[in-house]
Every structure is written in C-alpha cells, then in structure tokens.
C-alpha cells in the first residue's frame, strides 16, 4: 500500500517534508484500518527532481521493521518520521515523498513478540475507530494529528500539489461538467 505525492514546489525545510510524510502515513493507516489489516514494514522515500538543472538526481528510501504489526496512526506517523530523519540531507530541494506499507496481515491476527509490550491497547483502538468515524461523518481531515496542523500564519500546506493539471471528474463533480450553450 503506497501513499505518495509530487510536491507543488520543491521543499528544502525538514518540517515541511515531515508534515507531508506524516500526512501520507496517516492516510495509509486509515486505509489499513478500513480493510482490516495491519503492517509490520514501513518504507519512506524521498527524491529530488530528475529533470531540474541540479545535479545529481537524488532518491533514497529507508525501511523500518515494526516490532509488532499495527494500523495505529500515531505509531505509523512516529515510525515514518524516524525513517525520514535517517534520509534527510539538508540543502536538497525535494520534489516527491511517500510512505509504503508492506508485510500486511489481518489486524485480528497480528503476531506478537516475546520482548515487546503487547499490541495496541483497546483504548487506542477505540480512539482510531472514533477518529475514522468522525472523519467519515464530517469530512476527510476534520480530526487530525497535531503533526498535520498548519502553524499560525501559514495559509496553505507547503507540499500541496498543483490542482491546475488535475483531470476533471465529470462523473462525480457537477462543477466539472461541461456546459453546452
């Protein structure tokens, strides 16, 4: 399962890229819970533009094995940010990042380890279920982690893609229908 985006503009600051990676991990965790799965492998990747004047192109990834398979947003964001810290090279102009979840297994049948604490508590499981229910009822992104909230004075997400090239959604959005006069 992959969640990635090409940024609307190159990003050079760690907090901006970390916000994007956190959003991708959060979205992937939501998808995992919807299909009833958990993951025990998380890959974070970063890349610079292949087409720019900057040389050389750079692309790298970090894979983390989780001690116990999970679909908890808080845990996956924490591990994704840890992987990003391994990859981060200051001074680069990153144009794409993403999170890949591998090693999927049914959430009800996760394999525990001998030395790690048990699975996510029932309270955290209920928290994730409530988070999903609120976002389903009131719209995607209504309730989100603090890592995904914009700082005061920042009008929009710095990594947001440019919507001007988006394909019109003629079958699902009335605003995209062509008007014949």
Contacts of 91 (CB under 8 A, 6+ apart): 12
From the number of C-beta atoms within 10 Å of its C-beta (0-12, 13-18, 19+), residue 125 rates as: middle
Its domain, for residue 90, covers: 2-176
Q: In the chain, what's the furthest Cα-to-Cα distance?
A: 70
pLDDT of residue 25: 95
Distance CA 101, CA 110 (A): 15
- Whether 61 maps to a domain, the answer reads yes
pTM of the model: 0.81
Indicate which CATH number applies to the domain containing 110: 3.30.1490.100
Mean pLDDT of the chain: 85
- Does 56 sit behind a cis peptide bond, omega within 30 degrees of 0 on the bond before it? yes
As a whole number of angstroms, the distance between CA 124 and CA 120 comes to 6
The C-alpha atoms of residue 49 and residue 58 are separated, in whole angstroms, by: 8
In angstroms, how far is CA 52 from the centroid of its own chain? 25
Number of domains in the chain: 1
State percent of the chain over pLDDT 90: 45
Angle at 46 (CA atoms; ends 14, 116), nearest 5 degrees: 80
Considering the domain boundaries, does residue 181 fall inside one? Answer: no
d(CA 126, CA 137): 16
Q: Which residue has the higher pLDDT, 123 or 53?
A: 123
Higher pLDDT, 2 or 143: 2
Q: Is the pLDDT of residue 136 over 70?
A: yes
> Predicted confidence band at 125 (pLDDT cuts at 50, 70, 90)?
confident
- Please indicate, yes or no, if residue 97 is contained in any of the structural domains: yes
Model pLDDT, residue 155: 67
């Amino acid at each position: 399962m992959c969640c990635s985006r090409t940024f609307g503009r190159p990003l050079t600051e760690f907090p901006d890229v970390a916000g994007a990676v956190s959003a991708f991990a959060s979205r992937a965790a939501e998808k995992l819970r919807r299909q009833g799965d958990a993951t025990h492998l998380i890959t974070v990747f970063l890349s610079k533009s292949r087409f720019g004047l900057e040389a050389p192109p750079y692309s790298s990834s970090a894979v983390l094995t989780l001690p116990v398979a999970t679909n908890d947003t808080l845990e996956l964001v924490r591990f994704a940010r840890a992987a990003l810290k391994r990859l981060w090279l200051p001074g680069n102009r990153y144009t794409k990042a993403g999170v890949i979840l591998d090693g999927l297994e049914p959430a009800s049948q996760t394999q525990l380890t001998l030395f790690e604490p048990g699975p996510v508590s029932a309270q955290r499981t209920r928290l994730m279920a409530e988070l999903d229910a609120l976002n389903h009822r009131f719209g995607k992104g209504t309730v989100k982690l603090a890592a995904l909230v914009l700082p005061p004075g920042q009008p929009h997400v710095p990594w947001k893609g440019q919507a001007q090239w988006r394909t019109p959604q003629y079958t699902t959005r009335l605003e995209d229908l062509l008007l014949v006069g």
